[in-house]
Amino acid sequence: MDNVLVLVRHGESEWNRKNLFTGWKDVDLTERGVEEARRGGEMLAAEGLRFDIAFTSRLKRARRTLDIMLDVLGQRDIPIIEDEALNERDYGNLVGLNKDDARRRWGDEQVHIWRRSYDVPPPGGESLKMTAERVLPYFDARILPEVLAGRNVLVSAHGNSLRALIMRLDGLTPEEITRLNLATGVPMIYRLNADGTVASKRDLAA
């Protein structure tokens, strides 16, 4: 099977576990996150997938998830491209804050807007719309051409950078994408048509 694009959110990070806004803060995986990455690799091995190239953000939680999955697959020799265009969205002044503390400070509704609206950024940070404005041009220039050339591509990234991609691939509205939750460490397998549209999708979480 070729023309395959696999998207995976990194395994649980130390700040995921502590319920902190992480953004571009470069934190590592927890033991559970390592196990999630290993399990994601086993899921892809069960599918019999072989990859030609992989892309990841510059943040270690995504890169380490990718390395673990490729170890499980026995495919560590493929080219790996790192780019900050795939980084998590920048939460600005919220980075390092506990999400419950932020709700007490600014109120449930305001924090929900910052986290889940499409185009309202947190103070000093990025909205999902702004994140999409860096992720999608990079996808079009670097990742999509690899898939359309018949290669199988693995992308390890983050909840919001992947939401931006999924919004494009699945044709979701801004309202629909803000309701999408991505499990950590679970691959989504897309097969693309020659024009870049989606021929099929399987979320291995299901």
Cite the active site residues.
10, 88
What's the CA gap between 160 and 182, in Å, rounded? 9
Residue 61 in contact with residue 11, Cβ under 8 Å? Answer: yes
Q: Where are the alpha helices (DSSP H) in 107-186?
A: 108-116, 128-138, 144-148, 159-170, 174-178
Q: State residue 56 phi and psi, 5-degree precision.
A: -150, 165
Q: Which amino acid does the sequence have at 105?
A: R
CA–CA distance from 62 to each of 16, 169, 180, 191, 204 (Å)?
Answer: 13, 21, 19, 22, 18
Residue 83 in contact with residue 55, Cβ under 8 Å? Answer: yes
Say which residue the tokens 């220039």 belong to.
141
Extended beta strands in 10-92, E state? 53-56, 80-82
